[in-house]
Amino acid sequence: MKIAVAILLLAGLPFVAQLTRETNSHAANARGVKQFAAKKYAEAQQSFATANGIASSPSRAFNLGTSEIAAGNREAGATTIAKALADPSLRPDALFNRGNSALAANAFDYAIRDYSEALRLRPTDAAAKRNLEIALRKKQAMQQQQQADNGGKQPKAGQQPQPKPVPQPGDQKKKSDSYEDALLRSVQQQEQEELTRMHKPSRENLHVGW
């Protein structure tokens, strides 16, 4: 009889281990959600990494990637959150947050691509629309600044661009007075406001196992 009890206990060990594993992953995810809400992004990143390490899923990848982007690890975050794009329910938010990563890195073409795709999937996403406008304006301002720096001329084929002379006091108006700089300041202010509005991590099935 003792042997039979021992066998039953051993047979139950995998189930207990799996139950403990799932409970720990949900606990780590719940902890990360609270830390993210409190803007403790580095701590949230660690919690979501723990949850994803225990039981990976598109939702866990979304949460980890979002926290990495918010913590300033934009390149890693963009790579991680790409794993959530295969889930149709997560794709619009994943595109938006990856677009924020690209916008913060001044990778305007990538940001425009992600925001546009997010809006195609969710046309009512006001935050994606605002950030798309910011990305478009920043790209335009950058192009105008580059043209101004080049004297408004594109070098002909085979022609080497000539170095610009060193400006003397009074030769030019201050850059702060230029249209491009005024536009950039306005766009940067809007960017700071909008980048703080990340689509939040998913709470997943936090009720499971509790």
pLDDT band for 155, please (50, 70, 90 cuts). low
Record the tokens describing residue 173, joined without a space: 């108006």
The reported pLDDT for the residue numbered 201 is 74
Fold of 2-134: 1.25.40
CB 30 within 8 A of CB 47: no
pTM of this prediction exceeds 0.85: no
Domain ranges of the chain: 2-134
Q: State the pLDDT at residue 31.
A: 93
Q: Are 92 and 74 in contact (CB under 8 A)?
A: no
CB 78 within 8 A of CB 101: yes
The label of the residue with tokens 């935050």 reads 127
pLDDT at 176: 40
Averaged pLDDT for residues 163-183: 48
- Tokens representing 147? 């043209």
Question: How far is it, in rounded angstroms, from Cα 185 to Cα 170?
Answer: 23
